[in-house]
Amino acid sequence: MAKKDKDWKAEAKALRGRVKKLRTRLREKAGMGGTEKKAKAPNPVSPLAPKGGFPALPVIAGVDFAAVEAGVRYANRKDVMLVRLAPGTAIAGAFTRSSTRAACVLDCQAKLKGKVDDTSGAAILVNSGNANAFTGAAGQTSVDQVTGAVADALGVPATRVFSSSTGVIGEPLPHDRIIAKIGELTAALDPGGIEMAARAIMTTDTFPKGAMAEVEGDGGTIRIAGIAKGSGMIAPDMATMLVYIFTDAKIAAPALQKLLSRNVDETFNAITVDSDTSTSDALILAATGQSKAAPITDLRSATARAFDAGLRAVMMDLAHQVIRDGEGATKFVEIRVTGAADAADARRVAMSIANSPLVKTAIAGQDPNWGRIVAAVGKSGAKADRDRLTIRFGDILVAEKGWRSPDYREEDGASYMKQEDLVIAVDLGIGKGARTVWTCDLTHRYIDINADYRS
């Protein structure tokens, strides 16, 4: 009897294997491949989404956009976007510091470090649904194929074509599907197509993200417009985030890079949804030089300072929108830490609170559990003293001098926690170090989204 049972189980296992192979063949014959996903209902729009929807962004002279359906993984939606940049465009970038960076990230970094011909045109190609990460040598082959095809179609050097990929890790990028759409993309290029491009780069995002600023330069207006995607796997070192910012400012690439780099830490590196850093994060900033304003050559000038402030505002707006679209988020939370021994300690405390599952779930439940904040401060590794610690919910003094404030009422804290936008302020009472970071709550919806991301 035992032998018959074993034979039956072996036969059943073999049959299951044959069925699996037949299903794979059917998908391949239908042109679906192994990584495409059937269309499924989109995630409901975040309750924290901007009330006015996607903003009206200014047209940036020298920039054109297009987006198409290529079937990289998603069905019935645009999933590849192309940006064409005019000759003379200066380009800067910031990328994930993950040690398992995707091939497209490594390629972009190498191109920005190499010798650059700013007189030629440039382009950016982005796909969603597949991250082309942890795909071995095939990953770089796919990057070379898609960037080469764009270079040939637009007549620009391949060294000036930058690519990004976002989505599932560990699956080969079906680059042939993207290449097959290059002609359609180039034919559809439109200076007013930025919103369509923002939608094409979304994965678990529930709304497209855009921001803008205008700066009065010497002799004309300088315009800045940016788009981003990001919802989960968001943590400092650039989050799972793709960001593309465009300006018509006349500014050389080294100066542009300097302004970008000094604004990253207090914007995109000051947000966290779930403490996970992606393999694919990229921020590309392109300046076409087509504004009528005079060139920005001195970063100490009034125009340079105004441009820097405008750029920072766009970066901050996009970073906050990423948090407002955090997977399953219902609360937007600002963590302000002051009185730390130094800025590094302030950051340690802020991120410890922002990443604490206990703090984040209490916020989701609208529970003013300030004891969890005390615990997060204590585990941070920063210098702290119980008797100097002060905690506030907005303007409500919760705890001070090593104890709950005598004037604090639990019902006041509970009422405050019902708001969508919250501020948790902690003063360590030790020094002058300060840092602000932004996060969201942690709800069961986060588990729902991530538990079946590949299925």
| Residue 320 and residue 361 in one domain | no
Is 229 labeled as ligand-binding? yes
Predicted confidence at residue 327, as pLDDT, reads 81
Where in the sequence is the domain holding 305, given as residue range(s)?
63-324
pLDDT for 442-455, tens place per residue? 988 877 766 665 54
Give the pLDDT band of residue 44 (cuts 50, 70, 90): confident
Pairwise CA distance, residues 358 & 347, whole Å: 19
In this predicted structure, what is the pLDDT of residue 203? Answer: 86
pLDDT band at residue 222, thresholds of 50, 70 and 90? very high
Q: What average pLDDT does range 130-138 have in this prediction?
A: 92
297 is in an annotated binding site: no
Rounded-to-10 torsion of CA 151, 156, 162, 168:
-20
The answer to whether 258 and 304 have CB atoms below 8 angstroms apart is: no
Which pLDDT belongs to residue 415? Answer: 98
| Residue where a domain stops, chosen among 268, 289, 324 | 324
Q: How are strands ordered across the β-sheet holding 396-400?
A: 403-404, 396-400, 390-393, 421-427, 332-340, 433-440
Domain final residue, candidates 305, 324, 343: 324
Structure confidence by residue, pLDDT tens digits, 379-433: 999 999 999 999 999 999 999 999 999 999 999 999 999 999 999 999 999 999 9
CA distances from 350 to 59, 271, 367 (A): 38, 10, 19
Q: Answer yes or no: is 51 within a domain.
A: no
Amino acid in position 148: G
Number of domains into which the chain is organized: 2
Residue 338 has pLDDT above 50, yes or no: yes
The answer to whether position 49 is within a domain reads no
Residues 357, 276, single domain; the answer is no
* DSSP helix/strand/coil, 33: coil
One domain for residues 157 and 227: yes
- At residue 239, does pLDDT exceed 70? no
Flag the least confident range among 3-17, 70-84, 103-117, 143-157. Answer: 3-17
Which residues on neighbouring strands pair with residue 283, listed in sequence order?
Answer: 94, 243
282 and 412 in one domain? no
How far apart are the C-alpha atoms of 390 and 337, rounded to whole Å?
10
CA 61 vs. chain centroid, Å, equals 25
For the cut 50, the answer to whether the pLDDT of residue 26 exceeds it is: no
Share of the chain above pLDDT 90, in %: 76
Mean pLDDT of 240-245: 87
Closest listed residue to residue 223, CA positions, set 232, 211, 234: 211
Beta-carbon count within 10 A of 182 CB: 21
For residues 270 and 353, membership in a common domain is answered with no
Q: How much is the pTM?
A: 0.88
Q: Is 327 annotated as a binding residue?
A: yes
- CATH number of the CATH domain containing 79: 3.60.70.12
List active site positions. Answer: 240
In sequence order, the 6+-apart residues with CB closer than 8 A to the CB of 327 are 204, 231, 232, 273, 274, 445, 446, 449, 450
Q: What per-residue confidence (pLDDT) applies to 438?
A: 96
**pLDDT at residue number 75:** 84
Q: Between 153 and 234, name the one with better pLDDT.
A: 153
Residues 389 and 301 in one domain: no
Lowest mean pLDDT segment, chosen from 15-29, 122-136, 214-228, 289-303: 15-29
Based on the domain organization, do 402 and 254 belong to the same domain? no
Q: Kindly indicate the confidence band of residue 36, based on its pLDDT and cuts at 50, 70 and 90.
A: very low
The more confident residue out of 325 and 9 is: 325
Domain boundary residue among 291, 324, 357? Answer: 324
Do 417 and 446 reside in the same domain of the chain?
yes
Residue 260 has pLDDT above 90, yes or no: yes
Q: Are residues 96 and 188 in the same domain?
A: yes
Round the average pLDDT of the chain to a whole number and report it: 89
**Is 203 known as a binding-site position?**
yes
Q: pLDDT-based confidence at 35, cuts 50/70/90?
A: very low
What is residue 444's predicted lDDT score, i.e. its pLDDT?
A: 86
Banded pLDDT at 274 (limits 50, 70, 90): confident
Band of the pLDDT at 123, cuts 50, 70, 90? Answer: very high
Identify whether 267 is part of a domain: yes
Residue 240 known to bind ligand: yes
Query: What tens digit of pLDDT does each residue of 186-205 get?
Result: 999 999 999 999 999 998 89
Provide the pLDDT for residue 322: 94
Determine the pLDDT at residue 251. Answer: 98
Report the pLDDT value the prediction gives residue 230, as an integer from 0 to 100: 85
Same domain, yes or no: 396 and 433:
yes
The reply, when asked if residue 291 is annotated as ligand binding, is no
In a shared domain, residues 386 and 355: yes
Whether 441 has a pLDDT exceeding 60, the answer reads yes
Q: How many residues does the chain have?
A: 455
